[in-house]
């Protein structure tokens, strides 16, 4: 019987057990003591689990997944070297009458056999559940465990157990899968070959190819390096000499990958970062030229940051004309993306952008699909979030009051419209999709602000033309018996337009020269200055900020066309400079502070509402003298129509004044708050406002007393001083800061003349 038990433990079938080891044969059970029966059932359970694991290993080893095959092969070797060896060892000790196995030198207790193999009970049980999951669905398309990412995650998770043998088995299984994964990773990051690891068309790793033990930065670096090498090989395939990484560099990268495992997170991140740094340097020296970078930066600045002013004005007017044409004539009532592309080309005619080859890289996208333009409605409240803004505690972070980041991409067209940029090879190695999303967000904000600015100026012109036309018949007054009341309504309208114009002029005069132009010149200065050769940046954004120390004293840029030979600048420095440039532009435009950006959008909406109302009134605040309701009736001092328009103007004026005061208070509080860590120039900066609290966005990386910390402090101080200059411009006459009496408010009364309230 002992020999048969050892054969059963080795995986051979036997008549001692039925139901796959769950019960003893009835004929034998009657002869056994209950304790002996329980021990036999425990031994049968271990044998059944072992047999199941062996059968599953044999069945899955022939499958197409090399990861599962590696796991099964490793497990088979492990069981053969340890479990099967234990059976042979027990048999040898029994034959040698070892006192640890043979009691009194004459019999072998079943409990001793059970105690010897009991340590395998838990490992075999958990291995059975592993194969249950693998065999649940053997189609890789529907079973995630057939992919390296989920499979490695499961193995590493199960290795975190207090049972030593179980942990040891899963660690070795995970190591075998990681070795196969590293082989495919090496094919991708060294030779650019997808090898079922990445999409062969997009050259990006599949989501199921990256285990969770690989950090997000390492995953991005893997995608960047593999895609860069694959794209370079594909693009240079027709060249006489295809560009490839030097052999010594590939050998070094293979050696680095061989000494670490993905589960060793910090070491693996360091190796991947080193590979990325080497590949970036090679790309910068052999593929991406300084001329390409300079051309791209100029193009993005001209069209996304509105540095090409004449094209911007023409483009906004072309969009307005397109909306008007869809409302007034023609059979086509929808605006499609191809119409927007045509608007870009029409806007470029007669401007410096007409002969710019990079103009063809611009793309306007409609995420919501084709759009049917509609006239703006006045049914919606002027400012839905005004109560939240005014009730926010100015001593705390205002970002918590505005969980969703304010967007501006629907103000120009009336529906979300995003600007994109086609990145041809090799520019796609320099810019990332997250960079383009930030550019698109900045473009939406600046174009919306510029459009409102232009419409307010058009409203001013309309009011001037209407007044000149009216004065031809009324002389110095506004006409009619109630000339004083009509004059008060007109002056109220002029005051609202003047306030809008003043604020937009001040804000636009701050953003364009002080933020965009200045940061653009700083970027170009550092790209072409002779000090660039000694400026080294790491992948850390905090170190990249050090490049901008004393930047505002070096804004005399050296253009690429000057013929001066620029020194060497490494690729990591280049990307760090550009990321810091984007970060400073976003912070300078106040987009990193949700409260301020929400207030700016609300101000734009109020201006848009007022301008649209004046357009409906025929371009004038006062109704014609002969219009119905223009002349007073009975004891009224002014006509009903004049009173109605005056009420609308007063409502807009009060709302606008409240918004401007709130904007000034928020901006003042922002500049006085202590600086804390913020976010870097990435897509999450614009999507997760909880990571950006006020202008603290500019003070990232303040850790320790390093040079980078000092540079961060200086750079944050420069941005604070720039905002203080904006505050001085807004408060040039003390209208916000100085305590003053309430402004006079004109009220139309039903009887008597105009009464002045507040004097």
Summarised one tens digit per residue, pLDDT across range 247-260 is 899 899 999 999 99
Q: Is the pLDDT of residue 400 over 70?
A: no
Tell me the mean pLDDT in the region 27-47: 73
For residue 618, what are its two tokens?
Answer: 């025929």
Q: For residue range 61-118, what is the model confidence (pLDDT) as tens digits?
A: 877 688 888 999 999 999 999 988 998 988 888 888 877 777 776 777 778 888 888 8
Binned at pLDDT 50, 70 and 90, residue 507 comes out as very high
Q: Is the pLDDT of residue 314 over 70?
A: yes
Q: Which domains does the chain have, with CATH numbers?
A: 1-139 (no CATH), 147-287 (no CATH), 296-757 (1.20.120.1900)
Give kind and range of the element (H or E) at residue 518: helix 518-528
Tell me how far CA of residue 257 lies from CA of 182, 251, 252, 572, in angstroms: 7, 10, 9, 21
| Residue 284: per-residue pLDDT | 79
Among 173-187, 540-554, 633-647, top mean pLDDT goes to 173-187
| Residue 232: per-residue pLDDT | 83
CA–CA gap between residue 46 and residue 42 (Å, rounded): 6
Q: Check if the beta carbon of residue 491 is closer than 8 Å to that of residue 649.
A: no
Binned at pLDDT 50, 70 and 90, residue 390 comes out as very low
Three-class secondary structure of residue 23 per DSSP:
strand
Structure-model confidence comparison of residues 757 and 94, the more confident one: 94
| Residue 313: per-residue pLDDT | 94
Binned at pLDDT 50, 70 and 90, residue 308 comes out as very high
Q: Is the pLDDT of residue 466 over 50?
A: yes
Block residue for tokens 């193999």: 117
The secondary structure of 345-399 as a DSSP string is HHHHTTSGGGG-GGGGGEEEE-TT-SB---PPPS-S-S-TTHHHHHHS-TTS-GG
Q: Check if the beta carbon of residue 572 is closer than 8 Å to that of residue 538.
A: yes
Q: Is the pLDDT of residue 176 over 90?
A: yes
| Residue 182: per-residue pLDDT | 92
Q: DSSP secondary-structure letter at 79?
A: I
| Residue 267: per-residue pLDDT | 93
| Residue 33: per-residue pLDDT | 67
| Residue 20: per-residue pLDDT | 59
- 23-37, 169-183, 286-300, 501-515: which range is least confident on average? 23-37
| Residue 617: per-residue pLDDT | 86
Residues 6+ apart with CB under 8 A from 12: none
Give the other-Cβ count within 10 Å of 78's Cβ. 16
Q: Specify the pTM.
A: 0.67
Give the other-Cβ count within 10 Å of 539's Cβ. 15
- 85-94, 130-139, 552-561: which range is least confident on average? 552-561
Binned at pLDDT 50, 70 and 90, residue 349 comes out as very high
Q: Is the pLDDT of residue 24 over 90?
A: no
Binned at pLDDT 50, 70 and 90, residue 458 comes out as very high
Q: Is the pLDDT of residue 1 over 70?
A: no
Query: By CB neighbour count within 10 A (0-12 exposed, 13-18 middle, 19+ buried), where does 180 fall?
Result: middle
Q: For residue range 565-603, what is the model confidence (pLDDT) as tens digits?
A: 444 566 777 888 899 999 999 999 999 888 899 999 999
Q: Is the pLDDT of residue 195 over 80?
A: no
């Amino acid at each position: 019987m002992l020999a048969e038990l050892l054969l059963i433990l080795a995986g051979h079938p036997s008549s001692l057990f039925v139901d796959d080891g769950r019960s003893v044969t009835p004929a034998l059970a009657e002869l056994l003591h209950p304790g002996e029966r329980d021990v036999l059932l425990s031994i049968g359970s271990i044998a059944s689990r072992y047999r199941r694991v062996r059968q599953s290993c044999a069945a899955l080893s022939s499958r197409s997944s090399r990861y599962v095959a590696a796991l099964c092969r490793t497990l088979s070797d492990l069981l053969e070297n340890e479990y099967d060896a234990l059976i042979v060892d027990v048999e040898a000790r029994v034959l040698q009458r070892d006192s640890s196995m043979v009691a009194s030198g004459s019999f072998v207790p079943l409990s001793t056999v059970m105690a010897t193999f009991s340590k395998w009970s838990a490992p075999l049980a958990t291995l059975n559940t592993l194969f249950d999951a693998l065999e649940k669905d053997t189609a890789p398309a529907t079973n995630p465990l057939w992919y390296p990412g989920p499979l490695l995650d499961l193995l590493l998770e199960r290795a975190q157990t207090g049972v030593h043998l179980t942990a040891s088995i899963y660690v070795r299984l995970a190591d075998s899968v990681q070795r196969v994964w590293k082989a495919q990773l090496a094919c991708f990051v060294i030779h650019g070959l997808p090898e079922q690891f990445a999409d062969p068309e997009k050259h990006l790793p599949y989501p199921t190819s990256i285990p969770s033990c690989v950090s997000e930065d390492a995953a991005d670096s893997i995608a960047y390096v593999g895609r860069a090498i694959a794209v370079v090989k594909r693009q240079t395939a027709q060249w006489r000499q295809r560009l490839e990484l030097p052999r010594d560099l590939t050998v070094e990268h293979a050696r680095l990958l061989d000494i670490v495992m993905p589960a060793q997170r910090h070491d693996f991140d360091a190796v991947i970062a080193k590979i990325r740094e080497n590949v970036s340097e090679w790309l910068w020296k052999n593929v991406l030229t300084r001329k390409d970078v300079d051309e791209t930066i100029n193009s993005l600045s001209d069209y996304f940051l509105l540095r090409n002013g004449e094209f911007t004005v023409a483009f906004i007017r072309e969009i307005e004309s397109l909306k008007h044409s869809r409302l007034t004539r023609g059979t086509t009532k929808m605006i499609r993306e191809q119409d927007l592309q045509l608007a870009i080309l029409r806007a470029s005619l007669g401007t410096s952008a007409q002969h710019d080859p990079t103009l063809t890289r611009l793309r306007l996208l409609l995420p919501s699909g084709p759009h049917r333009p509609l006239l703006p409605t006045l049914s919606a409240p002027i400012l839905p979030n005004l109560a939240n803004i005014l009730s926010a505690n100015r001593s705390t972070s205002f970002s918590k009051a505005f969980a969703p980041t304010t967007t501006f991409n629907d103000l120009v067209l009336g529906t979300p419209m995003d600007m994109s940029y086609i990145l041809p090879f090799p520019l796609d190695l320099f810019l990332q999709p997250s960079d383009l999303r930030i550019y698109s967000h900045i473009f939406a904000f600046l174009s919306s602000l510029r459009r409102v600015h232009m419409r307010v100026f058009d409203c001013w012109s309309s009011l001037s033309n209407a007044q000149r036309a009216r004065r031809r018949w009324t002389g110095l007054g506004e006409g009619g018996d109630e000339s004083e009341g009509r004059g008060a309504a007109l002056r109220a309208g002029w005051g609202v337009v003047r306030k809008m114009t003043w604020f937009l002029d001040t804000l636009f005069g701050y953003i364009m020269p002080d933020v965009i132009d200045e940061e653009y010149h700083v970027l170009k200065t550092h790209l072409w200055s002779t000090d660039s050769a000694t400026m080294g940046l790491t992948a850390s954004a905090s170190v990249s900020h050090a490049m901008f120390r004393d930047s505002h004293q070096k804004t005399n840029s050296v253009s690429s066309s000057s013929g001066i030979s620029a020194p060497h600048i490494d690729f990591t420095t280049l990307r760090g400079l550009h990321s810091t440039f984007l970060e400073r532009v976003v912070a300078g435009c106040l987009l990193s502070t949700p409260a301020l950006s929400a207030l700016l959008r609300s101000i734009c909406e109020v201006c848009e509402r007022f301008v649209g109302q004046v357009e409906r009134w025929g371009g004038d605040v006062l109704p014609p003298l002969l219009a119905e309701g223009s002349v007073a009736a009975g004891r009224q001092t002014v006509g009903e129509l004049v009173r109605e328009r005056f009420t609308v103007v007063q409502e807009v004026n009060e709302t606008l004044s409240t918004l401007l005061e709130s904007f000034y208070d928020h901006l003042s509080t922002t500049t006085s708050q202590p600086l804390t860590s913020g976010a870097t120039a990435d897509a999450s900066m614009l999507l997760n406002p909880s990571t950006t609290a006020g202008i603290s966005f500019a003070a990232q990386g303040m850790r320790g007393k390093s040079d980078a910390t000092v540079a961060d402090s200086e750079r944050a101080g420069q941005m604070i001083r720039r905002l203080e200059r904006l505050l001085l411009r807004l408060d040039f006459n003390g209208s916000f800061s100085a305590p003053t009496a309430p402004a006079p408010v004109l009220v139309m009364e039903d009887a008597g003349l105009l009464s002045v309230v507040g004097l």
